[in-house]
């Protein structure tokens, strides 16, 4: 390994150490209570060294969030890529989202639950890669509507919001451990998901209007097949 490769490897290692320390601190102490100095102290580096990797705490947050969404997108594709039936793809994809809250709770809390973090709208372009993920899910909803499986009164982007917000609620209850002893959060999440999907098979319509954002792909964005690894 040459000198440049070694230097890049060391730099990548320090960058990851910063992100790991920040993620842990954001969850344990709250975003607003964590300073760049506190992150530096956590990994025994000087604040000046931290600033050479990330200009601000917000930049660390956006890097963490991007990392989390890339991990989530990869898992969604891995689980749904070989599923041919659109309703089943939706079901499995939404369950992956719920499972993400259990396998990566620190990412999940920073991405979805911490209220003092910056709005992702401040750096939308950074998350445009996730558009294809949401576009596939919206396309599956459209297919279900066209096939008569779902209500024709549903708006696909709005319906997708309803589904993921429902699973977000189930995940939050599980993370917060708000259920009584002996109550199974996975069973509750399963029942919620099946109830939501069953509700879409009725004459239910949506009134929510989804706005353009980094996670909502415009109609012009091409959607790769769920069976494609390209």
> What is residue 123's DSSP assignment?
G
Task: Note the pLDDT of residue 226.
Answer: 46
CATH superfamily of 62-230: Tetracycline Repressor, domain 2 (1.10.357.10)
Domain ranges of the chain: 1-55, 62-230
DSSP state of 179: S
> Do 65 and 109 contact (CB within 8 A), yes or no?
no
**pTM passes above 0.95:** no
Q: What is the pLDDT of residues 121-145, one digit of tens each?
A: 777 788 888 989 999 999 999 999 9
**SS3 category, 208:** coil
At residue 127, the pLDDT reads 86
Helix (H) / strand (E) containing 102: helix 86-103
Q: What is the pLDDT of residue 118?
A: 87
Report helix, strand or coil for 213.
Answer: strand
Per residue in 56-104, pLDDT (tens digit) is: 999 999 999 999 999 999 999 999 999 999 999 999 999 999 999 999 9
CATH architecture of 1-55: Orthogonal Bundle (1.10)
């Amino acid at each position: 390994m040459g000198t440049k490769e070694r230097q890049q490897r060391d730099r990548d290692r320090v960058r990851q150490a910063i992100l790991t320390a920040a993620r842990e601190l954001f969850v344990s102490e709250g975003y607003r209570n964590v300073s760049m100095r506190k992150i530096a102290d956590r990994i025994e580096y000087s604040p000046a060294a931290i600033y050479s990797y990330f200009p601000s705490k917000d930049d660390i947050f956006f890097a963490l969030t991007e990392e989390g969404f890339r991990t989530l997108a990869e898992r969604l594709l891995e689980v749904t890529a070989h599923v041919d039936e659109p309703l089943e793809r939706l079901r499995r994809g939404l369950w992956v989202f719920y499972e993400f809250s259990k396998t990566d709770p620190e990412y999940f809390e920073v991405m979805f639950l911490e209220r003092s973090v910056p709005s992702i709208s401040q750096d939308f372009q950074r998350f445009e890669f996730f558009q294809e993920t949401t576009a596939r899910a919206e396309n599956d909803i459209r297919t279900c509507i066209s096939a008569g499986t779902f209500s024709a009164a549903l708006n696909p982007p709005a319906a997708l919001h309803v589904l993921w917000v429902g699973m977000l609620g189930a995940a939050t209850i599980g993370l917060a451990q708000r259920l009584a002893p002996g109550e199974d959060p996975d069973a509750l999440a399963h029942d919620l998901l099946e109830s939501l999907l069953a509700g879409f098979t009725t004459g239910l319509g949506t009134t929510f209007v989804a706005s353009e954002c980094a996670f909502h792909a415009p109609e012009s964005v091409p959607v790769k097949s769920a069976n494609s690894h390209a």
